[in-house]
Amino acid sequence: MSHRGRRPPALRRLAALGADRSAGEDDRLRRSTLVLSTGLVCALTPFWIVTYLLLGLPVAALIPLAYLVVSLGSLAWFARTRRFATFRATQLAMMLVLPFALQWSLGGFAASGAVSLWALSAALGALLFMGSGEAIPWFAAYLTLLVVSVLVEPLLEPAGIPGGVLVAFFAGNLAGPSLVAYLLLQYFVRGRDREHVRSERLLLNVLPAPVAARLKRRDAIIADRHEATVLFADIVDFTPLSAALPPEEVVRLLDGVFSAFDRLADEHGLEKIKTIGDAYMVAGGVPVPREDHCAAVADMALAMLRECERRGAGPDGLRFRIGMDTGPVVAGVIGRRKFIYDLWGDTVNTASRMESHGVPGAIQVSARVHERLRERYLFRSRGTIDVKGKGPMPTWLLLGPDR
């Protein structure tokens, strides 16, 4: 198993602090990022406290100490209450105000090593944790405090920090906020990337890849006409079977069979359209046209019967009725909140009737399928049957390729 990109256990526990499973993915990512940033800054804070105490600057030491105490308390409070808005406002307010207060206590920009640079993380944090609109007042507040600092600079008394230490302060105050900002953005972007991959995977489980790409490019009705072959498959006597099994067994049974059919659809380059209860629908020639769509669907239908035999089809096993038709269809996406890619038209209705009026353990096809494949596949005529909603129709059973 690859461990690349996995966080250490301590960081995972810290990121999970105050996690709310009812929140959306973006909200959970913002929560964990803010908790991690608070923990990171708290880990750096004792260094500044000790440094200022060693320099004989107790007032300056009290400011990072206050941040540390309040932050640890707010972390514990957030872990208990899950109130993110209050926790976020507290952290951003301290990160905005306290660096300027520390700078003023040390005597200004130069005398403090430009410690107010840490306050920029509050403005950037607001953008990260709130969004672009809500972050504007925070950035405006940062600029306001910056202007105030410039105005009061002549009135401040420098603390007299030794030159070598002051250079180290400048380096730390440049490196510290930069490191924190980089690590947070790295964590947040990687989280967003993971979420994007999951979202793409989910979207492609609902829509064909070409259709999903079109839908992302424009918000408009997607509808196309195709020459396609449609297949329906239905489990024989599924209602009494499902009544005799526990619910979890029913779901496990359907998942196993339909997952196998999904693999067959991928192998034959076909598009699974949907499942309806115990019925499975697949099509060839959509959304990407192909000349051999009828033969490809026929090959899959034969493979589906072999899959059922492999799973122990028989008097007490699973048996499917399969129906096929080929011809024009309309394909498109319906819905705005829960998308579905579906097919409509006489071809779809006829394929459904071929299944519902079919023979258990066999593949019943229409005259159009027979006409298209009769040179390459073996068929047995069923004669003319009365099809609901269609009237008398000649039908055939597909037996296999003509070798």
Just list the catalytic residues.
353, 388
CA-angle at 45, arms to 169 and 146, nearest 5°: 55
Q: Which two tokens stand for residue 271?
A: 């598009």
96 contacts 122 by C-beta, under 8 angstroms: yes
Peptide bond into 137 cis (omega under 30): no
The single-letter code of the amino acid at 206 is V
Closest by Cα among 242, 315, 229 to 277: 242
Q: Read out DSSP for 342-397?
A: EEESHHHHHHHHHHHTS-TTEEEE-HHHHHHHTTTEEEEEEEEEEETTTEEEEEEE
Tell me 7's DSSP state: P
Tokens of 368: 């159009």
Map residue 105 onto helix, strand or coil: helix
> What length does the chain have?
403
Q: Are 158 and 103 in contact (CB under 8 A)?
A: no
